[in-house]
Every structure is written in C-alpha cells, then in structure tokens.
Amino acid sequence: MPEICRFFGIVIAMYFNDHEPPHFHARYGEHKAAIRIDNFAVTEGKLPPRILGFVIEWAGLHQEELMREWERARGSQPLFRIAPLE
C-alpha cells in the first residue's frame, strides 16, 4: 500500500486497484480506517476522534489531489506525495 502522506504520526495510503467508492486509508498506531474522498465518511475501522479530525481537515484541503491519486492508483500508476497538515 503506497504511502502518500505522513503527519503527526498519521500515515495516509492508497491501494492499487482498490474497490469503489474512492477512498484512502489512514493509520495511527494500532488504529486504522478507510475514509471516502467525496464526503470523508469512515467506511471501515476507527480512529481516535482528535486524529480523525486532523485527517478530515487534511483531506478537505487536498480533496482534488486525493481524487487524482485515486485515479492513478486504480490505473496502477505511480502515486505522488501530498503535502502534510502543518
């Protein structure tokens, strides 16, 4: 699973050729979640509330980039890094 961003101990990644709907994966310690790109709903797993807040804030800033990376991942193309939350 290629990592596309890392900030505050949170790892954001996408799988190549993953299932719909468009989403990304966030990991923080032993916590994991799959998060939709269109509405930032958690579809699998769970993150601590504060960490989920950071992830959603970051995703809101990079929603268009996330969709571009989703399309690249679906086509098994190399993924680019996205700037972290600062």
pLDDT, tens only, 49-77: 999 999 999 999 999 999 999 999 999 99
Spatial distance between the Cα atoms of 1 and 3, rounded to a whole number of angstroms: 6
Residue 73 is predicted with a pLDDT of 95
In sequence order, which residues have a C-beta less than 8 Å from that of residue 62 and are 6 or more positions away? 5, 82, 83
What single-letter amino acid sits at 3?
E
Spatial distance between the Cα atoms of 17 and 53, rounded to a whole number of angstroms: 27
**pTM score:** 0.95
